[in-house]
Structure 1
Amino acid sequence: MRITEMEFVEGFIRVTEDGFKKGWHERNGGNFSYRIKPEDVTAIRSELKPSSHFTPIGVSVPNLGGEYFLVTGSGKFMRNVSLCPEDNIAIVYIDEKGENYSIVWGLEKGGTPTSEFPTHLMNHSIKKELTKGKYRVIYHSHPVNIIALTFVLPLEDKVFTRALWEMMTECPVIFPDGVGVVPWMVPGGRDIAIATGKLMKKYDVAIWAHHGIFCAGEDFDNTFGLMDTVEKSAEICVKVLAMGGKRQTIPVQGFRDLAKDFNIDLAEEFLD
């Protein structure tokens, strides 16, 4: 089976298409990565190039040593991924030390993995450890409404979490741990990777002020669905603010009742 016919590649491409249609990926905005399952690596190994030229990652992720990732390319447009995957995405091998990478498939017309690759790998490393390997997806996009909120709400985890929880009853169920907020930082470097990684130890959602959002998840559907839910909640919040603000909302006891009925643990720090 050709690499582009593999189920995980088709699922990856579907997310890039859906995200573009949502308006989350202007020009070459956003990036996406997936930690490939061992059985899928085995199935495509004959199509992978030997790992010869290695490039420093910029961060050390030893628990990802020997892993393979499917990732979008730097400067590539999400809208073009489905048209020609070979030119716009890549499969990357991480060396045994977790310090260097080698492109073993894709980006046939040249290029490198997304400039946010260090942030992706640091988050993959954290989530792999915390979930015992269950999480495999990191997704970054530029949703309009969540970015808009970073200009008017205090850049605090509690403020954003509570605001988003209150907009739709399902939100506390879908992201019960809340969301974290990174103040504005220059993207693509070690500092923002470290700042995002600290939040990913606690949350599955990290909002980058005036920039976008990072989500982590077990698979494509759950990760895309998480981002879609956060952005929809942000859209409602923007409209509520535009209409003059809240007149009523979900009471604190309502959140506690919701948590009990849905058997979820809501962070009490966001309820006081």
Structure 2
Amino acid sequence: MNELYQVPAMAGFIRMCDDGWQQGWHERNGGNLTYRMTEEDVAACRPYFDAQPRPWVKMGVQAKNLAGEYFITTGSGKYFRNVILDPAANIGIVEINDEGDSWRIVWGLENGAKPTSEFPSHFMNHSVRKEATNGANRVIYHCHATNVIALTYVLPLNDRDFTRPLWQSATECPVVFPEGVGVCPWMVPGGAAIAMATSEKMKTYQAAVWAQHGLFVSGPDYDTAFGLAHTIEKSAEIYVKVLSTGRPILQTITDDALRAIAHDFGVQLNEAFLD
């Protein structure tokens, strides 16, 4: 096996792609993942970079605080299920220019492949989350989480009304995402408009729901980001199953109970979402 794939940042990326596929969240070429590399990651991977970087490509968005950064990214039109089989054909490493408005491929994405079509959305949200977390946030992940998508047909598409059922469906939820989740209405994927709308949500939240499309989450590392998506989707699954019984909800986690959870676990709940 290529020694590059043993570098922790790369090994973790490949594993997360496979984890998402195993969950059933990445039919065909659905979903995308990006990771903002540390200086140590870049140094470990640099010996495997192309001898000649490929041409610069304008993104249509700009973020000065990401100038000179490197990202591992899934490829446009590529299938998550194939990443573990042939990483170089399905993922790549891109460098951002000094203006923070263009990328160029320095490794992978073979045979003319390009970064995910959602790269502008990822890029702008990396910028926001880097600022919001003092540089701690490094992972942006988009998946087609089945039950989250289902709830976008029956819940009001606003942050409060979407968050409350998730908090109330599984006890760990107010601990994992105490600020709640943001919700974006349906928008055409892959362009600057959805990138900007999502980045507005990500100034406040770790996760955003894309109506009739999926889930968009962030985190400082692969485990945290994947765990956030997994937790939100599991809670959505519970709520969907409750609704599917057709029976009235007789009891749930009360707002005072949510406050008690937050107190005992040392997190600050978004009080605007509580009665």
TM normalised by structure 2 equals: 0.97
1:214 match: secondary structure:
strand
Deviations 1:168-188 (A, max 9, x none): 111000000100100000000
What is the one-letter code of the residue matched to 1:189? G
* Counterpart code for 2:145: P
Q: Which residue of 2 aligns with 1:253?
A: 256
Residues 1:13 and 2:14 are matched in the alignment: yes
In 1: Cα distance, 2:186 partner to 2:248 partner: 26
Q: CA RMSD in A?
A: 1.0
1:45 equivalent in alignment to 2:51: no
Instruction: For residue 51 of structure 1, report the CA deviation from its aligned partner.
Output: 3.5
Q: Secondary structure at the match of 1:176?
A: coil
Find the aligned partners of 2:69 and 2:272 in 1 and give their Cα distance: 37
Q: Residue 2 of structure 1 contacts residue 44 of structure 1 at CA under 8 Å; is this kept in 2? A: no
Aligned to 1:112: 114
The number of residues matched between the two structures is: 272
Query: What is the aligned partner in structure 1 of residue 185 from structure 2?
Result: 183
Alpha carbons 1:183, 1:209 under 8 Å: kept: yes
Aligned with 2:239 (options 237, 240, 243):
237
Q: Could you give the per-residue CA deviations for residues 136-171 of structure 1, whole angstroms, max 9, x where no partner exists?
A: 000000011000000011101001110100001110
**Post-superposition shift, 1:2?**
3.0
* Paired letter, 1:59: V
Q: Distance in 1 between matches of 2:189 and 2:110?
A: 26
The CA deviation at 1:52 is 4.7
**Distance of aligned partners of 1:218 and 1:245 in 2 relative to their CA distance in 1, 3 Å threshold:** farther
Task: Identify the residue that residue 79 of structure 1 maps to in structure 2.
Answer: 81
Q: Structure 1 CA distance, aligned partners of 2:248 and 2:40?
A: 51
Gaps of 5+ in 1: none
C-alpha separation in 2, matches of 1:228 and 1:47? 33
Q: Any unmatched runs of 5+ in structure 2? A: none
User: Which amino acid in the other structure matches residue 124 of structure 1?
Assistant: H
> Are the aligned partners of 1:51 and 1:93 in contact in 2 as well (CA < 8 Å)?
no
Secondary structure at the aligned position of 2:61 is classed as coil
Give yes or no for the alignment of 1:269 onto 2:275: no
Q: Which residue of 2 aligns with 1:88?
A: 90
The sequence identity of aligned pairs, in percent, is: 55
SS of 1:166's equivalent?
A: helix
For the residue of structure 1 that corresponds to 2:157, the secondary structure is coil
How far residue 57 of structure 1 moved from its aligned partner, in angstroms, is: 1.2
Trace 1:62-73 onto structure 2 (pairs within 5 A): 62-73=64-75
Q: Which one is further off, 99-108 or 51-60?
A: 51-60
- Secondary structure in structure 1 of the residue aligned to 2:94: strand
Match for residue 160 of structure 1? Answer: 162
Runs of at least 4 residues off by over 4 Å:
none
Counterpart of 1:149 in structure 2 is: 151
